[in-house]
Chains A and B, each alone.
Chain A
Amino acid sequence: MIRIILPQHLRALAHVGAELKLDVEGRPTLCSVLDALEARYPMLRGTIRDQVTHARRPFVRFFACEEDLSHEPPNALLPDAVASGAEPFWVVGAIAGG
């Protein structure tokens, strides 16, 4: 079970609270977690990554275990602590503009 923390605007869009939980098959990667997130909450498609290329949107970042995972390749394995549910996976809107 993966714990995910979304930015406030995406929580409102998906009608979820501060933290959501997802089951992801196999060892979780950036891509598999986002695939599972978008499958469960289709209204999030296109808000975190491009719907066609799957490129991360420029002002969205990924963090976990105090590490910036934003530039990791899509098939990079997430940390063990995220895979076990001990630590959440953060989707963060960059601090930019108003």
Chain B
Amino acid sequence: MSGVRVLVGTRKGAFILSADGKREKWDVSGPHFAGWEIYHLKGSPVDSNRLYASQSSGWFGQLMQRSSDGGKTWEPVGNKFVYDGVPGTHQWYDGTPHPWEFKRVWHLEPSVTDPETVYAGVEDAAIFRTSDGGQTWQELPGLRGHGSGPRWQPGAGGMCLHTILIDPSDPGRMYIAISAAGAFRTDDAGKTWRPINRGLRSEHIPDPTAEVGHCVHRIAMHRSRPGVLFMQKHWDVMRSNDAGESWQEVSGNLPTDFGFAIDVHAHEPETIYVVPIKSDSEHYPLEGKLRVYRSRTGGNEWEPLTKGLPQKDCYVNVLRDAMAVDALDSCGVYFGTTGGQVYVSSDAGDNWAPIVRDLPAVVSVEVQTLP
């Protein structure tokens, strides 16, 4: 019987939650790398036993881990991330130039064809690639070399490259997003990049429609329609029908359009999910009610999903990498909170239940659908 493996990164270690296709009884494994911040774990889409994890701490820096047995055992791999050439400067919070400094890996995106190839999105923002299973990492310098780098600036969480989407029909095309620079696209496997932020409007920057400077929180895509993108910006939920050439707002009837996470149903490319958060300074749900909002129309028309979720006194956050979907026939939706809960819905959001309630603050959630 098929099953799922949920990979959870937290502020104090990684956890692996496993269940069969019913998704009712869960086995909890962890903490792995206890005491370390695990910003992200992700499995290879072509080898479900091959996992990669980003492990870091303020004391001991960045480590990278690799598993070849589905997370039962791990081995440290290369952790040397050196910017290509002279790193240059970006804007600091006060607008002054600040040298590029590597801090940590936020997001890992394994190749859709090769388990040894992985892309890493890092802070300060850049994209690296390994083609030897994580032993060595090389920057794809065309992104920072685009020319707009000196105008990028950090969001509140740091200047992080947090989203990497690979077009499954054309691996040469990738999208990335940086807080706070915006979204970028490459059509030549990472050699050259260009900003794709036309249509975004950010009132908190000097030029609200600038080419770069937007605080994009997350982008999602359905693999059957890789040219259609959904974005949770700092404020605003956006949509692009033309691979990011232009964006339209689809916040519609959301009670607040601030948030971090966004994802797409595994089988319905127009069904999308967000978790509205009150504001940029109040990082918790409105009215203490934890509600996932679902749109079955690709945006604009949203319905709250509340069954099984706390509807009073709930003041957790759901971070940008902390939502995922499985690919079982009845699509499972998962998200983790800064309060340490990981929730699952095995019916596309209609009903929710906690898998675990008391983990450290959850930073990331990924799901593998196993044969």
Contacts and interface: CB of A to CB of B under 8 A. Distances in A.
A16 interface: no
> What 8 pairs across the A-B complex have the smallest Cβ distances?
A47-B60, A43-B76, A93-B59, A59-B59, A51-B80, A46-B79, A46-B61, A47-B61
Given A57-B59, A57-B60, A59-B59, A45 B80 contact: yes
Given A9-B35, A9-B36, A93 B79 contact: no
A35 to B, nearest CB: 16
B62 A46 contact: yes
Interface string A30-68: 000000000000010111100110000101100000000
A60 B61 CA distance: 10
Interface string B21-49: 00000000000001110000000000000
A81 interface: no
B63 interface: yes
A78 to B, nearest CB: 22
Contact of B79 (A12, A45, A59): A45
B76 A48 contact: no
Interface size for chain A: under 10, 10 to 19, 20 to 34, or 35 or more residues? 10 to 19
Interface string B62-80: 1100000000000010011
A97 interface: yes
Contact of B59 (A9, A45, A51, A52): A9
A10 interface: yes
Nearest to B11: A98
Contacts of B76: 13, 43
Interface of B: 34-36, 57-63, 76, 79-80, 82
A13 B59 CA distance: 14
Contacts, number: 41
A94 interface: yes
B60 A9 contact: yes
Contacts of B79: 45-46, 51
Given A9-B35, A13-B76, A48 B60 contact: yes
A10 B36 CA distance: 11
A57 B17 CA distance: 34
Given A13-B76, A59-B59, 5 more contacts: A43-B63, A45-B79, A51-B80, A60-B59, A60-B60
Contacts of A97: 58
Contacts of B80: 45-46, 51-52
Contacts of A59: 58-59
A9 B62 contact: no
Nearest to A42: B76
Nearest to A57: B61
A60 B59 CA distance: 6
Interface string A1-24: 000000101101100000000000
B57 A9 contact: yes
A93 B60 contact: yes
A41 B55 CA distance: 18
Contact of B82 (A13, A48, A52, A57): A52
